[in-house]
Every structure is written in C-alpha cells, then in structure tokens.
Amino acid sequence: MTLSLDLVPGMTTTREAIAAAYGCGIFQGIEPADQAGKVFVFSDPSAGEEYGYTFDGRAEDDEFGPLYLYTGAGANGPQKPSGRNGSLLSHMEKEREVHLFVANGRVPGGKAMQQRYIGQMVVDPIRPYEVRRGPGRDGVMRDVLVFRLRPAAGTTPAWTEADNLAEARKGAIEFTKPVLPPAEPVALPRQQGARVKEPERHHTSETVADVLAGPRKVFRREGRLVQEFAAHLEAMGHEIHSFQITIAGEPGALIPDLYDATDHVLYEAKGLTTRHNVRMAIGQLADYRRHVPRREELRVAVLLPDEPTSDVRDLLHEEGVELIYQTEEGFAAG
C-alpha cells in the first residue's frame, strides 16, 4: 500500500488505483481500508435499474442541507446493519473517513469502470438509514438499507445534475414492516469541530453534528414512541406494517410511520407535541391517504408523546384526524 493517490472532488480514477493506494478491496460497494482509516463507498445507480428500482442518488436538501442516498450491501435477502454496512454505520465511532465515488462509464479502450470522486461524506447521525423494499438479484422482495450521507465539513461535493435521484418509472405501493429507526442513532464524533489538513484531505468531522443534539433527541423519542405503540397494537392482536409509496415521475418514496391493517388506520408519529409538528403530520397524512387502498374507509391518526393543547385537539378533530398520545399508563385517544 502506497499513499500516492490524492483525493480531489471531481477527479476520476479506478477502483484498482484506489485499492493500490489505500489497501481496500475492489469488488464490493462498501470497501473498508482499515490501515488507512477510511471507508470507500462506490455508488452505481444503474446497478439497481435492471431490478426495477434505483435508490442511489442526490436527494432533495432538507433542513440540515445536502443529502446523498446510498443502497447498502447485500445482494439477496434482507440487508442488515452489520458486516460492511456496519463498517459504514460505525465510521464516526471508529474515526474513519468515508469517501464517496459514483460510477462514471468505462475507462477508454478498457473494461474497467471509472469512478468519479464526489467527496468526503458522513453518515447522518440523526437518521443514518431508511428501510426500503426492493428485489434482490434473485427477484425476491426484501428489506434494503438506504444510507443517508452528508458532506463532511469543509467538503464541496463534486456532484452534478446527473447524480440526482432518478424519477420513478411507475407508481407502486408495497407493504413493508413498520419503519422503525435504529435502536441507537449513529454515535456523534468525539472531537469538536472539523480538523482539516489539506483541502482534499479531511479527518472525520462534525458536519451537522453541532446542530444535532436537539433533533437527535427528538428522533430517538419519535422512534421509541413508534416502537412502543407498535408493540401495544401487536399485544392486542393487531396486524401492523407500513407502506412504501412510489410516485411515477418523482424521486424517492413516501413512507408512512405505521399502518394498523386490522382497524385500517394510518398513523403519523411526531417526537414533539407542538402545533408545527401536528400541522406537518396532518399534511403528511392527507398526502399518504390518497394512495392507500380503500382510502374512503381509511382512518388517519397522529401519534404524539404527550397530550397537546385543547386548540390543537380541536384542529385535529375539524380535519378529521384522530389523536393518540402516550401516557404513564400506556396510550390514550384524544
């Protein structure tokens, strides 16, 4: 291993050259380079197209900024947050850099695939991945981990419009397991602030971590709320799952929090009992219900960690949205 390959966003290289410089493998989408303190991620959106889905690509910015979605490792069967996926999830804790490449056509006159370097990234500490549904190489539908990557501090990603998430070719709705977040979000970096040696070489950085303490806590609260309510419904003998709603001509998918198939109720959970969050949930439910089978009979409800104010309860009632909130004894309807 000879560290002679400078990583500059926008450059093109090959996996063989990266392996020679940093000591990683050349065949998998996630290639750890332990001695170099790096994890290389190779994205190829076209790879999933033959199976009817494309989860990889530059997603729309959210309140924390730019976002790139990347499908995890595992060709067949449900993908797990371990193995190579685990090496990506634990990169902050182990202080390893993540470097994102996107397939960029064949090397002129050769068969090797060129790799265009996007830049150094970090796994989103709040919501490290989403669970989506897609077929494996064997054609069997399974759970897929779609990682949420953000630019590391000091990095200007070299992505282009061609890297934007592809639009869905057709609309579809898939039954899924309840969309529950990881038991523990990604560990935040130990150091404070970004440590930068050269423009093209960054160490593991805070990125959005300096503003994540509050959102991270809310996300965990929301996740626990969904998990506990799902367990509550299952204890009563209810069948629960969720949906993955793909809209033709749009990238990504709509993914409601929880669906009670026994009572035909769709739930949207929020980690804070505020007017802003409740209004957001009302809008999400209005969008979701348009695509759910038997929508005329569908009930919709907001799931909250506490009882809201009386005026917020009135708002929900007037909009035809039910209220469920957590109490010390369990759950109550408002």
Residue tagged 């190829």 (tokens): 44
pLDDT value of residue 180: 60
What are the structure tokens assigned to 175, written together? 């039954």
Residue range 116-155, pLDDT digits in tens: 999 999 998 888 998 888 888 898 988 899 999 999 988 9
The answer to whether the 12-164 and 218-333 domains have the same CATH topology is: no
Q: Report which of 29, 13, 3 is spatially closest to residue 112, judged by C-alpha positions.
A: 13
162 C-beta neighbours (distance < 10 Å), count: 11
Q: Phi/psi of residue 85, each to 5°?
A: -60, -40
Domain boundaries, the chain: 12-164, 218-333
One DSSP character per residue, 275-324 reads HHHHHHHHHHHHHHHTTSTTTTT-EEEEEESS---HHHHHHHHHTT-EEE
Q: How many CB atoms lie within 10 A of CB 276?
A: 9
Q: How far, CA to CA in Å, does 284 sit from each of 66, 281, 312, 313?
A: 22, 5, 16, 17
The fold adopted by the segment(s) 218-333 is: Trna Endonuclease; Chain: A, domain 1 (3.40.1350)
CATH 3.30.70 fits 12-164, yes or no: no
Instruction: Return the H-helix or E-strand segment holding 97.
Output: strand 97-106
Structure tokens at 295: 């929508």
- pLDDT tens string 3-59: 568 999 999 999 999 999 999 999 999 999 999 999 999 999 887 666 656 799 999
Q: Mean per-residue pLDDT for 174-180?
A: 73
**Residue in the block written with tokens 């695509």:** 291
Quote the pLDDT of residue 52. Answer: 59
pLDDT at 176 over 90: no
- Mean pLDDT across 48-74: 85
- State the pLDDT confidence band at 208, using cuts at 50, 70 and 90: very low
Query: Which tokens sit at 280?
Result: 């957001």
